[in-house]
Structure 1
Amino acid sequence: MTEGIGKSYHHGNLRNELLEAAEAQLAEAGAEDLSLRALARRVGVSQTAPYRHFQDKSDLLGALATRGYSKLLQQLELARLRAGDDPVKQLYAFAHSYVNYAVNNRDVFKLMFGPMLQPNEQFPDLQNTSRETYDLVRDIMRRGIEQGVFLHSDVEYLANAGWSGIHGLATLKLDIPELFQRKIDLNRQIDLGVAIFVTGLANLSPAEEQPSQLP
């Protein structure tokens, strides 16, 4: 028995260890260069061992993104809990936690939302975890409507608008980091973005929406 195969029988959680190694390799070389065989060598198991947990590279990437979403969701839920019952404070906490996760998990975050895993219907676990994140935003908006903080009553549109604004700022930070190194303080920008959004929702009802001028 070779050393690699022998070690494979002693891993208490090989799947998790492979995902840890994949995340490290993702940061070093990018998703394109990830391979199950390279991960097997990195972890020190037989080249066939990873295939007991992942069908192929696509399955591995889907699991890695799902794991990233789960960690993001845990952080967002904790931030919301610490913010108390006020939906506005929850939204501020959500925004900071979301952007901080993106900054601290750049490569996994890009994988989670990148084209390699789209459409995500082919990864049911990833789709479900992504929906849970959306539902968290949706619930904050719903509570704001119920408490009369937000006049606009279409919770689906509010959730999409809230998430897209926060996600856009996170993406800007990742793709154009020098913007925040020169003039823009990231935390202040997050607060301003949420403040503008909340102020708009406190004054805009569905009847006051401006119709699109596009043909």
Structure 2
Amino acid sequence: MSTARYHHGNLRAALVEAGVAAVRESGPDGVALRDLARRVGVSHNAAYRHFADREELMGEIAGAGMAALGEEGRRRLDAVGETDPVRRSRLRLRALGRGYVAFARAERGLFRVAFADHPSLDGTPTMDVEAEAAAWEGPFGQLVGCLDEMEAVGFLASSARPGAEYTCWAAVHGLSMLLLEGPLQKLPDEAAEAVVEEVLASLDRGLGATTGTYAPLD
């Protein structure tokens, strides 16, 4: 591939794109700046002009992974067509949880990189939970928004709202890791999906119990 297409500021983005592809193919260990430079058709010196080291590149790939997870969440949320406010808020939270686990299982390498301890370019953690929660843009912000909706429609008690996002996030992320590399990783797809539904139903029951308004969705 000619290097000409990268003379106007595109090389950095091309290296990140190649890094995402490498992670999808071989996991985090498959990322090396020299290899990515060859993949996009430039010298390794050109690559090092855009990234000081591998960690800086991994931070960008982690950001791309988080953005892809956020896009999956938006797609799942937008697909909920329920109009009843209470049911809608509950179904949206379940849809978000399903999308999170589905992404983790389909994008194993990218998911691992997204949540690895890679700094962003300014040295801060990759995920700024407060900023993205306020913007509703990423997976954590989407979760915060769903729980705020539940509180607004009276399914989740205001007294139980603080910190509920961490309970939900821990449950779904922990389940994702059990399915990826824990004792649940060999479950057939149907059995894994049943476990996901039970965990999401348990969260739903617990949230509804705070106001005494819980009733099965089905």
Kept in 1: contact 2:104–2:111 (CA 8 A) = yes
Is 2:28 the partner of 1:21? Answer: no
Aligned-residue identity in percent: 26
4+ aligned runs moved over 4 Å, structure 1: 27-30, 118-121, 123-126, 128-131
Deviation at 1:171?
0.8
CA deviation map 1:112-153 (0-9, x unaligned): 1124x1699724664368653212101111110111112353
Match of 1:72 in 2: 69
Match of 2:92 among 67, 90, 93: 90
Range moving further from structure 2, 18-27 or 141-150:
18-27
TM-score, normalisation: structure 2:
0.78
Matched ranges for 1:109-128 at <5 A: 109-115=111-117, 117=118, 122-123=123-124, 126-127=127-128
Match of residue 41, structure 2, among 44, 47, 69: 44
Q: 1:104 to 1:8 in 2, by over 3 A?
A: same
Aligned residue identity for 2:203: F
Root mean square deviation, CA, Å: 2.8
Give the Cα separation in 2 of the matches to 1:133 and 1:178.
23
Partner of 2:216: none
Give the conservation status (yes or no) of the 8 Å contact 1:36–1:50: yes
Q: Unmatched 5+ residue regions in structure 2? A: 212-218
1:108 aligns with 2:110: yes
**d(CA) in 2 for partners of 1:155, 1:119:** 30
Cα distance 1:193–1:73, how it changes in 2: closer, same or farther (>3 A)?
same
Residues 65-119 of structure 1: CA distance to partner in whole angstroms, max 9, x if unpaired? 000111110110121111145110001110111111111110111111124x169
Which 5+ residue runs of structure 1 have no aligned equivalent? 206-215
Cα gap change, 1:29 to 1:52, in 2 (>3 Å): same
88-97 vs 125-134, which moves further: 125-134
SS at match of 1:100: helix
1:9 aligns with 2:15: no
Counterpart contact for 1:23–1:64, Cα < 8 Å: yes
Q: Is the 8 A contact 1:102 1:109 kept in 2?
A: yes
Aligned residue pairs: how many? Answer: 198
User: Is contact 1:145-1:153 (8 Å) kept?
Assistant: no
CA shift for structure 1 position 28: 4.8
Q: Report if aligned partners of 2:56, 2:121 keep a CA contact under 8 Å in 1.
A: no
